[in-house]
Each structure stands twice: as structure tokens, then as C-alpha cells.
Amino acid sequence: MYTQCPECLTVYKLEAELLVPACGCLRCGHCETVFNALGTLAGQLPPEPFTRLEEHALDREPPLADVAVFRPRPEPEPVPEPWTDTPADAAEAVTNEPVATEDAVEEDFSQLTFTPRFARAKRRSWRTAAWIATCTVLVLGLGAQLAWAKRDVLIADATVGPMLASGCAMVGCHLPLVAAPSQLRLLARDVEQHPSVTDGLLITASVRNDATFAQPYPVVTIALSDAEGHRLAMRRFQPEDYVGDAGTRSRGMAAGATSAMVFEVQDPGQRAVAFAFSFD
């Protein structure tokens, strides 16, 4: 994610955890201005050149959160203790009960139904099995939801990631790509005059994915500077700018794989003596 200082217009790249301690407020590392980072928060930077990031209104109604992944169960209500008669009340109830005649007793017994003990046990066993099966399905569903919500962390884990990749390979599925630009290593780079464009430069780079998982091709930023370190030109290359095959882009950079990248830039003149790469 990206945000911009409203005073000096410096754009910063940040993680979500940085916004938590001060409810979205940050201190600019350049001009010391304290500002609300949520006002210009953006997932991607707009195409260059740009001056300001899009500002968001912060006085609207809160949006509705409707994709729940967990909700605690309510505590069970206490069951009241059964009411019991005192010995005096029991004696009074026995005294006040009318004496049943022989005919009445026979009629009452004729209305009773008898359920065998094995039938009652079978019914209880069936209900218990159904309850256990329902709970198992609910637990598995909750685990699947949590695993999907934390899929990037699981795939990037050095122990769990290879197990998931092996399981997916067995059933013929593909794990989603997880971006980790910090684990991309620039092995070699070179710049030369473009063979067919008069004022163009051809920059080549060899990049290796040191992660234990496949990740998407990064957004590459190339900056050209003079001998004093002043930036003369800069350009950001999207994956489709330097990887023409859509199938190759969808598969990403495999774990431990090395990729050769070629970039075409306009020659800023004889003052440009150095260039630098960065990955997003």
C-alpha cells in the first residue's frame, strides 16, 4: 500500500500494521508533518508522471462488514435445579390424592405404550452420530475458511508451503502466487545502446527468486542518475511490459528460478552514468 504526505508530497510504501498504533496517523520522515495516511491510501501507484494521489473522504458512513470468518458461540444458559417437595408437602399430596379404583388402574395401563430399551439406545446412538458429523463438518468448514484467509502466510511458510505445493501437484491444482519482492535478487545487469532505436537504451537484468514458493513477476522501477547521484529519469515497468507471454506471466517466477529481463528506455543523455533497480 502507498500513502502521500500532504505537505511535501512524498509518497511512502507501508504495511497495514504501521497504521494500527495511531489509528491511521503517520509522521512524515521528510518534513515531520503528522497526517492521516488513510486519506490518500492506495493499493497501487497511478501511472507516472503524477503529483498527488487520489484523496478519500473520511467522513462517510462506515461500510458494512458482511464476510464473517469467525463468531464466538454464546455461553449456555444455566439449567435450573429440579423442584422437590418437602416431606410435609409430599405427605399432604399423598393424603389429598384420590384413591384409584381397579377399573381406573386398568384403563390407565391400557393407554401406556412401551418402547424397548434397545430401540431407545439405537435412537440415541443415531442422534449422537449425527451431532458428531455436523460438528465435524462445521469445524472443517471453519478451518478451510481460516486457511483461505491466511493462504499467503501458509504458502510462504518454509514448512507448510512445500507440503501444499506437493498436495496441489497430486490433485492437479495450482497454488496462488504470493508476492515477496524482498526475496528477489538481482544477479547481473547491463546497459547498452539500442540496436534499432537512435535515442534508446537496452537494459538487461538477471533476477533470481530466492523464495521457497512461486511469486508473480514484479513491477520493476529503473532510475537513471548522474555522477552526483541526482536522478535524471525513472520508469516503472509492469510485468506485461517485459514478459510478453500471458501463460508465462500467470505461472510467475518459480522457486529458485532465474529470469532474464530486457527493458527499453529512452537515453537521457551523456549525463546518465548510473542506473538502479527496485522491485515492487
Query: How many domains, in total, are found in the chain?
Result: 2
Q: Which CATH number goes with the domain that contains 228?
A: 2.60.40
Last residue of a domain, one of 41, 58, 75: 58
Give the range among 127-136, 139-148, 219-228, 269-278 with minimum mean pLDDT.
139-148
Burial of 3 (0-12, 13-18, 19+ CB in 10 A): buried
What is the per-residue pLDDT for 183?
92
Q: Please enumerate in sequence order all residues whose Cβ is within 8 A of that of 191, keeping only pairs 6 or more positions apart, or say none.
A: 201, 202, 203, 204, 275
Taking only the tens place, the pLDDT of each residue in 200-229 is 888 999 999 999 889 999 999 999 888 888
Range of the structural domain that residue 30 is part of:
1-58
Answer yes or no: is 147 within a domain.
no
Beta pairing, strands 34-36 & 274-279: unpaired
CB 174 within 8 A of CB 211: no
Answer yes or no: is 248 within a domain.
yes
Residue 151 reports pLDDT greater than 90? no
Answer yes or no: is 68 within a domain.
no
Taking only the tens place, the pLDDT of each residue in 56-91 is 888 778 877 777 777 787 788 777 666 554 555 544
Last residue of a domain, one of 22, 42, 58: 58
Answer yes or no: is 23 within a domain.
yes
Burial of 201 (0-12, 13-18, 19+ CB in 10 A): buried
Answer yes or no: is 241 within a domain.
yes
Answer yes or no: is 140 within a domain.
no
Side chain identity at residue 41, one-letter code: L
Question: Measured between alpha carbons, how far is 259 from 249 in angstroms, rounded to an integer?
Answer: 12
Please state the pTM of the whole predicted model. 0.42
Side chain identity at residue 216, one-letter code: P
What is the per-residue pLDDT for 155?
74
Answer yes or no: is 137 within a domain.
no
